[in-house]
Amino acid sequence: MKCLWHKCPRNLVGHRRCFCSGNCKNNYYVARRRKILKAKAVAYKGGKCCLCGYNNCLEALTFHHIVGKDFGISYKGYTRSWEKVKKELDNCWLLCSNCHAEIHAKEDNAALSGNRQMINQVNSGNPDCLTLVK
């Protein structure tokens, strides 16, 4: 039987029933907690991209900080309390990976051209939640 941690190639030996080591056990439960927190965070922010409405894949949804950030939601893989995560999410937009990349591309282009003000119109939309002034 193989170790339950999906990234571990080792087989279980001796009295081990689920994990080949304490490290694999820890990795498994930390990853599970992160996935649960991400699902809660996505639900808290409406469950879909606030620009295009995409909601098919949890891993394709990201959080864009509006102004400043105390911490990255998943910075260095740290797990945080739900209350701390919720406070940080109040300063974020939920976006799909494509919309998030387009926002950063427009921000980068505006910074390169010296235009510090940007009105975002990603994906042919003009949502109220995405008017930025830098």
Q: Is 47 a residue whose pLDDT tops 80?
A: yes
Q: At CA 120, angle to CA 117 and CA 125, rounded to 5?
A: 160
Residues in the chain: 134
Calpha distance 81→132 (Å, rounded): 29
Beta strands, E only, 1-134: 61-65, 92-96, 117-119, 131-133
Calpha distance 73→62 (Å, rounded): 10
CB 130, CB 66: distance < 8 Å: no
42: its two tokens: 């996505």
Region 103-117 average pLDDT: 69
Calpha distance 106→90 (Å, rounded): 23
Q: Is 122 a residue whose pLDDT tops 80?
A: no
CB 119, CB 132: distance < 8 Å: yes
What is the pLDDT, as a whole number, of residue 86? 85
DSSP-assigned letters across all residues of 14-44: TT-SS-SSHHHHHHHHHHHHHHHHHHHHHHH
Q: What are the pLDDT digits (tens) for 87-106? A: 888 888 999 999 999 988 88
